[in-house]
Amino acid sequence: MSVMKTLFNYFSYTFIISALLFSITAIAAEKKADDDIAAILAQELKLDEQQTQQMRAAMQKFGAQLEKLFAEQEAEDADPEKLISGVKQAQDAHNKELQGILSKDQFKAYEALKEKAIKGIFTDLIAIQLMDIQPKTSLSNEQIDKLAPVLADTKYKIIKIAWENAGKQLRPRQKISLGRQLKSIQGEARAAAEKILTPEQLQAWDKYNEEQQKKS
């Protein structure tokens, strides 16, 4: 199996796109605010009124582009690769527009907010998954609280690599480099899990993962 197929075996195209592009809405959820995202970002990034209005318009434009791209995928002859290409182009244009609205520090803070939101979503989802397999692995609630952020960080890193390389024609050396990156990320996650789980729990965890891989 190729490196990129291995990466995308973890997460579907749609999930990758949704996680990376729509997770900014989690900022609003975190703040438990009824206001729109642009207003929340204005507070977080200390935007002036003009920047706030420009940000709102840019996000509405970006959202409309994404809705159109996803709507096109409902056709019977839809091409997932076209979706990836279209979304990446829309994202690049959107980021360029935001860089014209925000200062360098504000844009950097915006990217950090997105990353935090993504990892927050992943942490919650993984915690729920761990609770589902709790009887099989004898995980305590405290262990779940410690393990979920570790696995969320791992998922984020893998998805980020997959998204950055989606649609590219990779040379052999690039594939080797990606494979090594993936192996390193998995190794770091394993080392962290070994500090949280007992040997018996690790064995049960490995058995569960093997069973899931056979089903996929």
The predicted pLDDT at position 180 comes to 93
The predicted pLDDT at position 216 comes to 55
Distance set, CA 18 to CA 52, 67, 81, 152, 172 (Å): 24, 11, 15, 15, 29
pLDDT tens for 83-103 read: 778 888 888 899 999 999 999
Cβ-contact 152, 126 below 8 angstroms: yes
How confident is the prediction for the chain on average, in pLDDT? 81
The predicted pLDDT at position 11 comes to 41
Binned at pLDDT 50, 70 and 90, residue 16 comes out as low
Binned at pLDDT 50, 70 and 90, residue 4 comes out as very low
The predicted pLDDT at position 144 comes to 96
3-state secondary structure the chain: CCHHHHHHHHCCHHHHHHHHHHCCHHHHHHHCCCCCHHHHHHHHHCCCHHHHHHHHHHHHHHHHHHHHHHHHCCCCCCCHHHHHHHHHHHHHHHHHHHHHHCCHHHHHHHHHHHHHHHHHHHHHHHHHHHHHCHHHHCCCHHHHHHHHHHHHHHHHHHHHHHHHHCCCCCCHHHHHHHHHHHHHHHHHHHHHHHHHCCHHHHHHHHHHHHHHHHHC
pLDDT tens for 190-210 read: 999 999 999 999 998 888 778
Whether 107 shows a pLDDT value over 70: the answer reads yes
The predicted pLDDT at position 6 comes to 40
Binned at pLDDT 50, 70 and 90, residue 30 comes out as low
Where in the chain are the domains?
A: 3-215
Cβ-contact 38, 57 below 8 angstroms: no
The predicted pLDDT at position 18 comes to 54
pLDDT tens for 109-143 read: 998 888 887 888 889 889 998 999 898 889 999 99
Whether 17 shows a pLDDT value over 70: the answer reads no
- Give the Cβ contact number of residue 47 at 10 Å: 21
Q: Give the angle 17-73-123 at the CA atoms, nearest 5°.
A: 25
- In a 10 Å sphere around its CB, with 0-12 CB exposed, 13-18 middle and 19+ buried, how is residue 18 labelled? middle
